[in-house]
């Protein structure tokens, strides 16, 4: 299908560094890719080509035209760490420290969830993400076949991981790698949905397993030429527990067990030492920064300034809705841009461009979708159109500042993934939202997560 977005403003990161903004342009799509971007003057005439964006192809015939006036086109946002089906547990267990929240509240009620519950919980999460401009996410949870099914049906992109280790959530040492369902999941879903699904290995954390299990998980990832998604140094307690369990800190455990020999999405990384930062930089580990969840659970504030200075790929995640309590990447960008300024007393820390790149190009790279994250000729057509007319945006002096500090999720009007329109004029095309909400509410009531029970 050929789609044209006509007379739209465009804001995109450049390759490497910097951003590019055009007040008026036409964006053409052919199938799943951007075929051209024509830059125009105020009179609507073509003015010049952008070497990076590509040349206008006058011969293209368009099947569908979107009026882009008073809209801003940006690359789709990437949520680099979440637990999508936790939508079922939204607003269920709050104002608690992480250990009590996880072991006393979340894990017991998760044992009551079925595969169908996970399917509808993931569907609700995907609908929420689409409506707030997210086109790709990294997920770690249970019954991941059902999450993959929801991803395939909805049109969004996802990096999905599955746990191959026995006894997750249990500190009892694992005898050996014994869950063949990972192999089945990988072969069934990796590269499926026209390449919209990628499969990683889940290693929840170093503290839930023993050294042999971690070595086997890293070997599995190497054998499948894939990566690992792991929680790393989310709390200070994790350091103490790691020394008791392994005699070393979690980063050194990852190094010695081979976890860092494959691509890694390391969620949180709140309590990295200087030495830890040097080590993950050498191993090209991607850090998924989750500022809202870390603040809400009082886990701390990650040293993102220091981490970025070492050239580490920092992306953004919301975490699950049981600890955030939403999947709003605009809110995540805003909070990420503010807390590091306040914590460092440096107004230049984590600037607007940095959070824009974290939420787009950096996330795409970490999740393995290298052809997305930038709007340019030949790139994947993952495009979000934002309304420019809101009173909270006027005057529209600096579009990059507006994106980081003013825009809201409710300003998202249209979402396109691989050239398919998933939402237009805030109407989702690929999910029955009413049915989805009904099913999730029913599950919440059934398991007692609903406050009325």
Residues 261 and 268: their CA atoms lie apart, in Å, by 19
pLDDT digits (tens, 9 = 90+) for 381-434: 999 999 999 999 999 999 999 999 999 999 999 999 999 999 999 999 999 999
pLDDT band (50, 70, 90) for residue 169: very low
Residue 9, pLDDT > 50, answer: yes
Residue 27, pLDDT > 70, answer: yes
Instruction: Give me the mean pLDDT over the 211-225 stretch.
Output: 94
> Has this prediction a pTM greater than 0.85?
yes
pLDDT band (50, 70, 90) for residue 167: low
Lowest mean pLDDT among 43-52, 77-86, 279-288, 404-413: 43-52
Residue 330, pLDDT > 90, answer: yes
Question: What local confidence, expressed as pLDDT, does residue 278 receive?
Answer: 98
Residues of the chain with pLDDT > 90: what percent?
Answer: 84
Lowest mean pLDDT among 107-111, 243-247, 249-253: 107-111
197-203 and 33-40 as β-strands: parallel, antiparallel, unpaired? Answer: unpaired
Instruction: Give me the mean pLDDT over the 229-234 stretch.
Output: 98
Give the DSSP H or E segment for 123: helix 115-131
pLDDT digits (tens, 9 = 90+) for 127-151: 999 999 999 999 999 999 999 999 9
The CA dihedral of 151, 156, 162, 167, to the nearest 10 degrees, is -70
Provide, for the chain, the percentages of residues in helix, strand and coil under a 3-state DSSP scheme, each rounded to the nearest 5: 40, 25, 35
pLDDT digits (tens, 9 = 90+) for 277-293: 999 999 999 999 999 99
Residue 48, pLDDT > 70, answer: no
Residues of the chain with pLDDT > 70: what percent?
Answer: 92
Question: What local confidence, expressed as pLDDT, does residue 74 receive?
Answer: 98
Instruction: Give me the mean pLDDT over the 222-231 stretch.
Output: 97
Question: What local confidence, expressed as pLDDT, does residue 440 receive?
Answer: 97
Instruction: Give me the mean pLDDT over the 422-451 stretch.
Output: 93
Instruction: Give me the mean pLDDT over the 37-48 stretch.
Output: 73
Question: What local confidence, expressed as pLDDT, does residue 16 receive?
Answer: 87
Residues 261 and 160: their CA atoms lie apart, in Å, by 19
Give the bridge partners for 148, in sequence order: none
Instruction: Give me the mean pLDDT over the 191-215 stretch.
Output: 95
pLDDT digits (tens, 9 = 90+) for 344-356: 999 999 999 999 9
Residue 104, pLDDT > 80, answer: yes
Residue 116, pLDDT > 90, answer: yes
Residue 174, pLDDT > 50, answer: no
pLDDT band (50, 70, 90) for residue 272: very high
Question: What local confidence, expressed as pLDDT, does residue 52 receive?
Answer: 46
Domains of the chain, first to last: 2-75+372-428 (2.30.40.10), 77-367 (3.20.20.140)
Residues 388 and 384: their CA atoms lie apart, in Å, by 13
Question: What local confidence, expressed as pLDDT, does residue 56 receive?
Answer: 43
Question: What local confidence, expressed as pLDDT, does residue 165 receive?
Answer: 83
Residues 73 and 319: their CA atoms lie apart, in Å, by 26
pLDDT band (50, 70, 90) for residue 263: very high
Does residue 1 or residue 224 have the better pLDDT? Answer: 224
Question: What local confidence, expressed as pLDDT, does residue 45 receive?
Answer: 62
Q: In this structure, what DSSP letter does residue 174 have? A: P
Q: Which residue, among 20, 83, 29, 94, has the nearest Cα to 60 in the 3D structure? A: 29
SS3 286: strand
As a whole number, the mean pLDDT across the chain is 92
Residue 212, pLDDT > 60, answer: yes
pLDDT band (50, 70, 90) for residue 97: confident
Residue 362, pLDDT > 90, answer: yes
Lowest mean pLDDT among 93-97, 207-211, 429-433: 93-97
Alpha helices in 155-273 (DSSP H): 181-189, 192-195, 211-223, 236-246, 250-257
Instruction: Give me the mean pLDDT over the 438-443 stretch.
Output: 97
Residue 55, pLDDT > 60, answer: no
Question: What local confidence, expressed as pLDDT, does residue 44 receive?
Answer: 59
């Amino acid at each position: 299908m050929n789609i044209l977005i006509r007379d739209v403003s465009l804001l995109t990161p450049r390759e490497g560094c910097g951003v590019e903004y055009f007040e008026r342009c036409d964006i053409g799509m052919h199938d799943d890719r951007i075929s051209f971007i024509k830059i125009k003057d105020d009179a609507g005439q073509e003015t010049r080509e952008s070497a990076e964006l590509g040349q206008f192809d006058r011969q293209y015939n368009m099947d569908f035209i979107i009026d882009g006036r008073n809209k801003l086109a940006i690359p789709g946002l990437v949520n680099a760490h979440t637990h999508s089906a936790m939508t079922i547990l939204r607003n269920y267990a709050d104002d608690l420290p992480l250990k009590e929240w996880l072991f006393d509240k979340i894990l017991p009620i998760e044992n009551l969830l079925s595969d169908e519950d996970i399917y509808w919980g993931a569907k609700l999460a995907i609908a929420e993400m689409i409506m707030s401009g997210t086109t790709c996410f990294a997920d770690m949870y249970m019954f991941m076949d059902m999450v993959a099914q929801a991803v395939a049906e909805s049109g969004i992109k996802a990096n999905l991981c599955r746990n191959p280790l026995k006894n997750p959530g249990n500190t009892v040492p694992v005898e050996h790698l014994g869950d063949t369902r990972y192999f089945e999941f990988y072969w069934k879903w990796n590269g499926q949905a026209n390449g919209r699904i990628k499969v990683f290995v889940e290693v929840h954390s170093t503290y839930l397993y023993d050294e042999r299990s971690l070595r086997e998980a890293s070997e599995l990832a190497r054998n499948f030429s894939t990566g690992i998604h792991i929680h790393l140094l989310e709390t200070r307690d994790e350091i103490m527990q790691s020394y008791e369990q392994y005699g070393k800190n979690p980063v050194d455990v990852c190094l010695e067990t081979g976890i860092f020999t494959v691509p890694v999405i390391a969620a949180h990384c709140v309590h990295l030492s200087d030495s830890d930062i040097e080590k993950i930089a050498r191993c090209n580990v991607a850090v998924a920064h989750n500022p809202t969840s870390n603040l809400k659970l009082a886990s701390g504030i990650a040293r993102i300034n220091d981490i970025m200075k070492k050239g580490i790929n920092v992306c953004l995640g919301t975490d699950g809705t049981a600890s955030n309590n939403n999947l709003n990447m605009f809110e995540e960008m805003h909070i990420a841009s503010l807390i590091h300024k306040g914590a460092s007393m440096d107004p230049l820390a984590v600037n607007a461009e940095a959070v824009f790149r974290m939420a787009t190009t950096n996330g795409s790279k970490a999740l393995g979708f290298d052809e997305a994250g930038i709007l340019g000729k030949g790139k994947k057509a993952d495009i979000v159109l934002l309304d420019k007319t809101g009173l909270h945006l006027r005057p529209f002096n600096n579009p990059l500042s507006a994106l980081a500090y003013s825009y809201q999720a409710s300003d998202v009007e249209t979402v396109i993934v691989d050239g398919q329109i998933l939402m237009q004029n805030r109407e989702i095309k690929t999910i029955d939202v009413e049915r989805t909400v009904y099913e999730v509410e029913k599950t919440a009531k059934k398991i007692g997560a609903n406050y009325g029970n």
